[in-house]
Structure 1
Amino acid sequence: MKTENTTIEPLYYQDASGLAKMIRTKELSAVEVMKAHLDRIEALNPDINAIVTVAEKALEAAKAADKALQRGDELGPLHGVPFTVKDSIDTANVLTQRGSPIFKGRIPNADATSVARLKKAGGILLAKTNLPEFSYWIESDNLLSGRSNNPWDLTRTPGGSSGGESAAIASGMSPLGLGTDLAISVRGPAAQTGIVSLKATHGSVPMTGIWPRVPRRFWHVGPMARSIRDLELAFSILSGPDGFDAFATSTARFDAGRGAAPNRALRVGWLVEPGFGPVDPEVAATVEAAAASLKELGLIVQPVRIPALERDFALDVFNRLHVMEMKEAFREAVAGHSEDEIYKMAKTMLSLPDTSIKDFIDAEQAAERLRDGFAGYFQKYDVLLTPVLPIPAHKHGVEQFVINGQEMDATYLQGATVPLNVTGLPGIAMRFGTSKDGLPIAVQIVGSWMAESTILHVALLLESMSQVRNLHPIP
């Protein structure tokens, strides 16, 4: 059932920033907040299957948070706020099983850097969320914990690979979470469930404590939430080097965003096709509507084309670059295990032919051309507005689609997201429309490298114009 909330949001639909404020001002206790989300999990998770493990000490940690507040301890910005974590991200003393029977019962002894930073800010680990086997597919399904369902329509996917995380946040089981993104995996699921997510500039947030590590030049970890201000807060907590991930070398406070040009209107280009593959007319109309809203707010907005995207199809470049490295990681993980423990995506990956050295080098050069093409674009514009997905959330198990009259396989759903992984650019996914079937439709806000403040600002502007912000899938 889809409802529009015109009164005060229920506690389980408050965003993390709002919950943190209410806990600090003692309007709510951390225990009340935690119990509300635990109750929500108990009520909804049997149907949605977003949560795979509840942290045993979550309620105990909430009690400790309330005592710290009573003592007058110094509080972090997320003090007492629950958060969830995709089950490929290590959590100390809490199961991290990577969506596979091969890792059943695995309990790390240390937190991933991203988890440790949310905890240091006062957040409390609530639960781990579902994913595809080895974080590798656009649906969240595996042999160990089964399939996650979209709370807007249980017959549809909440996406992958961070689909459990997106479904948990969309349905009120969690206010804030961590996902990972190789080609689509925080932005696609956010689009399919109507929440928001940020894939920051590559290297902004360390990947330490997350598997698989390869190909690390494409992997990202990022926040998923229900408001743009929560993305902004989470990014400020998560970003910066940790001394272990060599890609995470830039300082936490470096920002190439709107501060570079504070006295002029931001310049926004919007693009649906070509360069991403075919896009459904409903999705195209949503991107155009978002562009029109920004123009109404006084930004300089124009339709654009980016020749580099038309010359080198980023999805093809990505496929030629990542297969050999991922195959080796999968081959090592499954060594010595029976066929019964391996699901279809690992089998598919292992069956793919190796990329020839010539094709690999050609793809590396194409990736450089894409980076150069975007560098040229961002000399003229501050932001690029695109689709996230070419269609709204699809039915489970569908692998062939007709999109705007063209037949495409499921990998093409990554057409507009994977360019940001190949180039390392930052992007936000946020809902701005609704399909004829009542499903969320999102737009992607892309910025130049290290310009997160720009895209967060534009996302806040769009959020202020949005007619769908208070829509929820389940009362």
Structure 2
Amino acid sequence: MDKEIFYSDATALAGLIRRRDLSPVEVMQAHLDRIDATNPEINAIVTMADDAMKHARAAEAAVMRGDELGPLHGVPFTVKDSIDTAGVMTQRGSPIFKGRLPAEDATSVARLKRAGGILLAKTNLPEFSYWIESDNLLSGRSNNPWDVTRTPGGSSGGESAAIAAGMSPLGLGTDLAISVRGPAAQTGITSMKATHGSVPMTGIWPRAPRRFWHVGPMARSIRDIALAFSQLAGPDGHDAFSSNAPVYRDRLPFTPSRPLRIGWMTGPGFGPVDPEVAAIVKSAAEALQGPGVMVEQVGIAALERDFALDVFNRIHVMEMKPAFAAATAGRHPDELYKMAKTMLSLPDTSMADFIEAEQAAERLRDGFEAYFAQYDALITHVLPIPAHKHGVDRFVIDGQEVDATYLQGATVPLNVTGLPGIALPFGKSQGMPVNVQIVGKWHAESLILHIASLLEAVSPMRGLHPSL
């Protein structure tokens, strides 16, 4: 029975609790037991919320009293350790913030709690949420539950590993260039980076800059992503980027008002892609073809003119380096890990390069706008390869040698432009999950969630979990 609980999605658990088929206490205990059994090997969970069982008992009492219940009533959730949680340590993967205890929840955490969710634990990440592997001096390295010799990704790698392993049904991650979609792809779960500003970043480091930053839901089903997003979206009066964000309440199902036209591509403009991954993208796109959906291979000229990863790097070094400098000022070098040292050592972007990169970002936005004038969505890969071995920083992909930053080639365009994207498992390569990415125009979350649900229904990965 425990396996049926810890591999059930959040929507199913909420329904079982509401119908009194399961109690919140049983659900919480099953996940606590699962953490005890699997976390020593995976190292996804870094801090437990000590009052989780107390809140589960309170949630059970509310059910028995017949109180009005929120859509996530009694359901545990986990949170990446860069997101503030009141009374539960948020240490950002760095000895500099060891023992840091926030007084308030981040807006995203508060909203999941208001929906009835119960904070279970905090999950691992790279130092300052800043790399494609979840490893740091404070809490060590997280491992992929499909193969512990491989990474679960970064920066939300602890979160992806916890959900994939059944330690949590639902979680929150952050995404600067790859970080909710990449880890989801490496562990075979689902995630969404919504339109920039849709979910407030209040209570998440860094406060500035946050032009490319997002916070988003991670789960094992598209319906859970839709449910979580319905609770997370909308302005909070603090994050100015969220001031014009619509409140999403559609959930699923969603019915398009007309036939859909969907394009798919794996390049050019994303960098090299492994042929097996490219074939999975093609098969996912072809699976959508049918009544009411027209699918064809496409190209986007703007991505070929301006390589989004290069554009991103020139802008964000200029913007992020001061944040790193402020956080590490006066600290001993032994308190800094790889990426803080790397960021601080990078040469400043010249003003001329910065201005050109800003203009390139505008060209990319215009290019996607032109694409979405003709198409409703875009299907791409998330990563050019499946989850890689720990510590690898150079790869040969389709005959081309590249550094590790190239893994962000298909994800970072959505951070530069602010467009929404969903990561969804749709196959395997080297025995590891491979996800596809569904991209929509600004604030088209309802549509891309609908498309993702269609793909989920026919995915070869449906119902598969790591054999832990």
Equivalent residue in structure 1 for 2:77, among 60, 63, 83? 83
Whether 1:175 and 2:169 are equivalent positions in the alignment is yes
Whether 1:426 and 2:420 are equivalent positions in the alignment is yes
Q: Per-residue CA shift, 1:171-198, capped at 9, x if unaligned?
A: 0000000000000000000000000000
Root-mean-square deviation (Å)? 1.8
Note if contact 1:257-1:451 (Cα within 8 Å) is conserved in structure 2. no
Q: Which has the higher contact order (CA 8 A, sep 6+)?
A: 1
Per the alignment, residue 398 of structure 1 pairs with: 392
Equivalent residue in structure 2 for 1:241, among 235, 242, 254? 235
Per the alignment, residue 370 of structure 1 pairs with: 364
Equivalent residue in structure 2 for 1:218, among 207, 212, 215? 212
Note if contact 1:386-1:443 (Cα within 8 Å) is conserved in structure 2. yes
- 1:369–1:258 distance in 2 versus 1, CA, 3 Å: farther
- For 1:366 and 1:158, locate their aligned partners in 2 and report how far apart those are by CA, in whole Å: 32
Q: Per-residue CA shift, 1:206-259, capped at 9, x if unaligned?
A: 000000233311000000000000000000000000000000012433699999
Per the alignment, residue 316 of structure 2 pairs with: 322
Equivalent residue in structure 2 for 1:69, among 63, 67, 70? 63
Equivalent residue in structure 2 for 1:459, among 452, 462, 466? 452
- For 1:172 and 1:150, locate their aligned partners in 2 and report how far apart those are by CA, in whole Å: 13
- 1:97–1:305 distance in 2 versus 1, CA, 3 Å: same
- For 1:111 and 1:306, locate their aligned partners in 2 and report how far apart those are by CA, in whole Å: 40
Please give the secondary structure, in 1, of the residue aligned with 2:141. Answer: coil
Per the alignment, residue 30 of structure 2 pairs with: 36
- For 2:199 and 2:57, locate their aligned partners in 1 and report how far apart those are by CA, in whole Å: 30
Alpha-carbon deviation of 1:298? 4.3
- For 2:137 and 2:253, locate their aligned partners in 1 and report how far apart those are by CA, in whole Å: 48
Q: Which runs of 5+ in 1 are unaligned?
A: 1-6
Note if contact 2:78-2:120 (Cα within 8 Å) is conserved in structure 1. yes
Per the alignment, residue 438 of structure 2 pairs with: 445
Note if contact 2:223-2:251 (Cα within 8 Å) is conserved in structure 1. no
Q: Per-residue CA shift, 1:355-377, capped at 9, x if unaligned?
A: 00000000000000000000000
Alpha-carbon deviation of 1:148? 0.2
Note if contact 1:324-1:355 (Cα within 8 Å) is conserved in structure 2. yes
Identity of aligned residues (%): 74
Equivalent residue in structure 2 for 1:307, among 301, 310, 328? 301
Alpha-carbon deviation of 1:145? 0.1
Per the alignment, residue 271 of structure 1 pairs with: 265
- 1:259–1:179 distance in 2 versus 1, CA, 3 Å: closer
Whether 1:471 and 2:464 are equivalent positions in the alignment is yes
Please give the secondary structure, in 2, of the residue aligned with 1:445. Answer: strand
Specify the code of the residue in structure 1 equivalent to 2:386: P
Alpha-carbon deviation of 1:336? 1.4
Per the alignment, residue 386 of structure 1 pairs with: 380
Please give the secondary structure, in 2, of the residue aligned with 1:472. Answer: coil
Q: Give TM-score scaled by structure 2 length.
A: 0.98
Q: Per-residue CA shift, 1:417-455, capped at 9, x if unaligned?
A: 0000000000000100011x2100000000000000010
Per the alignment, residue 411 of structure 1 pairs with: 405
Whether 1:358 and 2:352 are equivalent positions in the alignment is yes
- For 2:257 and 2:110, locate their aligned partners in 1 and report how far apart those are by CA, in whole Å: 38
Note if contact 2:258-2:292 (Cα within 8 Å) is conserved in structure 1. no
Q: Which runs of 5+ in 2 are unaligned?
A: none
Alpha-carbon deviation of 1:72? 1.3
Note if contact 2:178-2:411 (Cα within 8 Å) is conserved in structure 1. yes
Alpha-carbon deviation of 1:71? 1.1
- For 2:115 and 2:315, locate their aligned partners in 1 and report how far apart those are by CA, in whole Å: 37
Equivalent residue in structure 2 for 1:14, among 4, 8, 14? 8
Per the alignment, residue 4 of structure 1 pairs with: none
Whether 1:207 and 2:210 are equivalent positions in the alignment is no
